[in-house]
Amino acid sequence: MMKDWEVVIGLEIHAQLATRSKIFSGAATAYGAPPNTQACLVDLAYPGVLPVLNAEAVRMAVKFGLAIGAQIAERSIFARKNYFYPDLPKGYQISQYEQPIVGRGALEIVLDDGATRRIGITRAHLEEDAGKSLHEGLANATGIDLNRAGTPLLEIVSEPDMRSAKEAVAYMKKVHTLVRYLEICDGNMQEGSFRCDANVSVRPRGAAKFGTRAEIKNLNSFRFVEKAIQHEVARQIELIESGGTVVQETRLYDSDRDETRSMRSKEEANDYRYFPDPDLLPLAIERAFIEAVRASLPELPDQKAARFVSEYQLSGYDAGVLSASRETGAYFEAVVGRVGAAHAKLAANWVMGELSSALNRENLEIDAARIDPQRLGGLLERVIDGTISGKLAKDVFEAMWTEGRDADAVIEAKGLRQITDAGAIAKAIDEVIAANPKQLADYRAGKDKLFGFFVGQVMKATGGKANPAQLNDLLKAKLGGG
Amino acid sequence: MSLTSRDVEKIAHLARLGITDPEKPVYAANLSKIVEFVDQLARAKTDGVTPMAHPLEGLTQRLRADEVTEADDREKYQRNAAAVQAGLYLVPKVIE
Amino acid sequence: MSWHARSIAELAAALERGEISSVALTRHFLDRISGLNGALNALITVTADQALAAAAVADRRRAAGERGPLLGIPLIHKDIFCTDGVRTSCGSRMLDNFVAPYDATVVARLKAAGAVMLGKANMDEFAMGSSNETSFYGPVRNPWDLDKVPGGSSGGSAAAVAARLAPFSTGTDTGGSIRQPAALCGVTGIKPTYGRVSRYGMIAFASSLDQAGVLARSAADAAVALGAIAGFDPRDSTSVDAPATDYTAALDAPLRGLRLGLVKEFSESLEPRNGALIAATLDAFRALGAETTTVSLPSLPLSVPTYYVVAPAECSSNLSRFDGVRFGYRCADPRDLRDLYERSRGEGFGAEVKRRIMTGTYVLSAGYFDAYYLKAQQVRQLIAGEFRAAFQQVDLLIGPTTPTPAFGIGAKIDDPVTMYLNDIYTIGANLAGLPAISAPCGFVDGLPMGVQLIGPHFAEGRLLNAVHRYQTATDWHVRAAPGYA
């Protein structure tokens, strides 16, 4: 008999902090440098060197803590996590263990049915990233690049509060949006700036105890998170239902095969022998510093979305999309600034519609858009004042995008200005009617559908420039009146 | 508390120290003596005493400004490495 | 008087008067090293060419009008300090091929002061030892008796100063590694307050205990040398951000009213001849105006077991970076990653280092952490508290540096616990981060013995002052080992 299974997921998100230099050394953190050219003596763990903590990494962690409503530890401790691996040059990772900098907090996610769910965040702590092992192009050897070693990480540990892969993705996206808002992480998942480990278990619905969990390591896209969890859930249920038991272990998601498999190299019992790092004194954070950081916080995504709803009467969905990044929100508000709040919905439709698809087509970020908010606002003004129709506006938009000119210049050059001269429209209608006597007779005999045919013919004759409302009125009168 | 050769094996593996078979009982005997010696700590009354991780208690971590101060000196730093190729440090193939 | 018998101040004055150049002085000491080091094995590396070049630079700096108490004065660095372009072995096969690409802060500061490095001193492997017998480069021999150990781990530094191969040397002290060899070789050695001297570039043994200091023939010389290396260093988070004082300024202050406390726990069980020396030393201090009393630190006898949990724990982690990948010894033809690690470390480290790494791994491992590591940190707190209380009653603590004079090479090497007990009087100061000094105070069986003074945090000046006054009233510190005058 099939049981009803409940899925339990917790995420450990690793966000690389966007500092210029590393967490414990003065080497650069820029991505993509030739191997080991951004690995200084401290990063290489040379004999005799010592770590010195980067103030900006601390400030960024505090910023995050405040944004999730967490307690900031006035005193936190750096500890050594001891294990041997070639990408870990000291043989230990400096991390925080017993007293992390950020305590308990929470974030709210919106589910598909519009309901919200609160996801608890257990803690967030500062630690250093490891280097990279490269296996390709080397005969029988692994190459070690330590450029990434020592890049500051904020590890954000959630409670096991998520109940589906979709919820896990929604939570991860929420954190992703937040860290970019706070400008503490560039969020670039391809470059590994934002990645997570997922702890997944299943239990019979209603059971009090959690099932045994597996940890899936190093998921670096939203899609992989979803697929890896789905696969792992299916694997665990199948295993239990066929009489097996889940073992606690680390697994790796293979995106090529869409499956998770045990990481034998990390399977052996780890004993990390955590102890306070004697090279680093306790980190003290003063109240005044916390308050200064609080004062510097930007408007957060949820606050912005709520404001968009109340200030511009947008739907919750539109507000959510437009507040998903600081840049999108700023673009939208700049357009509204030009066209006025009364036309906010029009602005929202254009930002989420034409602009967004043009950006996607060329794989551009919104701040690299070829039409700036002022120009888009200028285009919408021409729609609002009736100079062009909404349909023509799309063509104007395309021309603006490729030619880099403003709306008025495009409209003039292409002669797209709408015809609002009633005489000219009437003349065109008369010509169309004269040329189509059979359709006229049918229409008058009761074939109402032919009205659309006449609209199309007049539009064709005017190059699409006839004002639709005027055309409508005049056409009705002429067809009906005879 | 006395340690066996098996204990020595486990510890040596955690510490990635290659120890030969004949050495194991010798280290087991040495370590047993050391552990027995430090076992006298158990006699100290330490209820409620805060562990002391650092000799200058009361001092707190000083912070560094977020500045790039280190330039690339890979060629010099890699002179001490036994195996390097294309700027990478080499280790025997790691299978994940 | 021969050049090698003169104090730093006398040498600086001679350089200033132009009686000798730094190049000539450097050549004098290099000649002495080439004649005497063969028997002593005090130096692992002699940097003759660099030394002569540095001396020439010092002479030019002086000619250009620069002055300074160490400008042109030779010294020897313990081989634990990284020296740019010069092999830095730490007494280990692991680093036999290691050329440091940078200077330790201590080295850089002495370079800036114009001091001239003659070479790198032998030491116990990774500073783990009390006899200098754990060095990959073989034991150092005590100038007072070549069959005896010089103490350790700064054994080469102490033997070199005792044999007058240099006016002073640098050392490091994690559990007594400056003071114990200073005592056994009849020289003056000071371990400053934890955080007073930068640890940057000093290869770590136990990070919460390690501290750099100097060995010289007198407190006056030590004051000059310490002044050059003390001070804040932004590269060491545990370096104390306070200006260094001029340790020479108060050297001559009278000792009237100085309250010296004899540690009860260490004075009761003294071997009679050692006890007699300490009694005579107390008399000498009283004659100089000091008052003496006895104070009790009941937890201090637990300092050695506490140390042998804390120091191995930290060292087990600190030495994980030696993995054969980026620097240091790498085994031949590793089969796989595990083989690379296990053989590089197994072959690169000596027995004592491996013992300590394993001890430390054990006390930090799951199931033992609370009983050993945490417990030791608590006892450490008790000991530090008792020191604080003692310094409410007295200005400085006084007692022997070591239980016995130098012992025979090979006598204790097979019994680690007996070896560890050599440091019974010195370890307390490291656990509490206190400054402490050892100075010659007499002889037992023709071998030098030392008196140790311990002060509250940042009392280096007071310690040097007390010993300097003592040395103006006694002559133990000017006696040379036979054949090394």
Q: Which residue of A has its CA nearest to C311?
A: A278
**Cβ separation B80–C327 shorter than 8 A:** yes
Q: Which residue of B has its CA nearest to A271?
A: B14
Cβ contacts of C310 within 8 Å, gap of 6 or more: C206, C208, C209, C373, C376, C377, C380, C431
Domain final residue, candidates A268, A291, A314: A291
Question: Which residues from C are below 8 Å from A91, CB to CB?
Answer: 317, 319-321, 323
**Cβ separation C102–A278 shorter than 8 A:** no
Active site residue C264: no
Residue A99's H or E segment, with its range, is none
- Domain limits for position A327: 299-414
Same domain as A443, residue A367: no
The length of chain A, given as a count of residues: 482
Question: Is residue B53 one of the residues assigned to a domain?
Answer: no
Cross-strand bridge partners of residue A53 = B63
Domain final residue, candidates A257, A291, A325: A291
Active site residue C153: yes
What mean pLDDT value characterizes chain A?
92
Backbone torsions φ then ψ of C44, nearest 5 degrees: -90, -40
CA–CA dist A177, A320 (Å, integer): 11
pLDDT in tens, C222-253: 999 999 999 999 999 999 988 878 999 999 99
For chain A, what is the largest distance between any 2 Cα atoms, rounded to a whole number of angstroms? 100
Selecting among C21, C22, C92, C177, the annotated active-site residue is C177
CA–CA dist C365, A274 (Å, integer): 9
Q: Which residue of B has its CA nearest to C234?
A: B64
Q: How many folded domains does chain B comprise?
A: 1
Q: Point out the residues of chain B with pLDDT beneath 70.
A: 1, 96
- Domain limits for position B33: 5-43
Residue C90 has pLDDT above 50, yes or no: yes
Q: What is the DSSP letter of A466?
A: B
CATH number at residue C141: 3.90.1300.10
Cβ contacts of C219 within 8 Å, gap of 6 or more: C188, C190, C251, C437, C439, C464, C465, C467, C468, C470, C471
Question: Which residues from A are below 8 Å from C88, CB to CB?
Answer: 47
Q: Which residue of A has its CA nearest to C362?
A: A273
- Asked if this assembly's ipTM is beyond 0.90, the reply is yes
Q: Which of C234, C358, C430 is closest, CB to CB, to B11? A: C358
How large a percentage of chain C has pLDDT more than 90? 95
* pLDDT score of A267: 46
* pLDDT score of B96: 62
* pLDDT score of C418: 85
Q: How many folded domains does chain A comprise?
A: 3
Question: Is residue B95 one of the residues assigned to a domain?
Answer: no
pLDDT in tens, C102-128: 999 999 999 999 999 999 999 999 999
pLDDT in tens, A253-288: 988 888 888 886 554 567 999 999 999 999 999 999
* pLDDT score of B1: 66
What mean pLDDT value characterizes chain C?
97
Same domain as A285, residue A313: no
Same domain as A117, residue A230: yes
Question: Which residues from C are below 8 Å from B16, CB to CB?
Answer: 320, 323, 338, 341-342, 345
Q: Point out the residues of chain A with pLDDT beneath 70.
A: 1-3, 264-269, 481-482
Selected residue with higher pLDDT from A256 and C168:
C168
CA–CA dist C332, C343 (Å, integer): 9
Q: Which of B7, B51, B92 is closest, CB to CB, to C377? A: B51
Domain final residue, candidates A234, A263, A291: A291
* pLDDT score of A111: 85
* pLDDT score of C295: 97
Same domain as A430, residue A450: yes
Same domain as A117, residue A266: yes
Q: What is the edge-to-edge ordering of all strands in the sheet holding A141-145?
A: A132-134, A141-145, B88-92, B84-85
| B37 and C CB contact within 8 Å | yes
Same domain as A363, residue A281: no
Q: Would you call A195 helix, strand, or coil by DSSP? A: strand
Selected residue with higher pLDDT from A248 and C401:
C401
Concatenated DSSP letters of C98-154: -B-SS--HHHHHHHHTT-EEEEEE--SGGG--SSSTT-TT----BTTBTTB---SSS
Same domain as A441, residue A335: no
CA–CA dist A217, C413 (Å, integer): 48
User: What is the band of C476 on the pLDDT scale with cuts at 50, 70, 90?
Assistant: very high
Q: Which of A36, A54, A280 is closest, CB to CB, to B87? A: A36
- Domain limits for position C150: 3-257
Q: How many folded domains does chain C comprise?
A: 1
CATH number at residue A438: 1.10.10.410
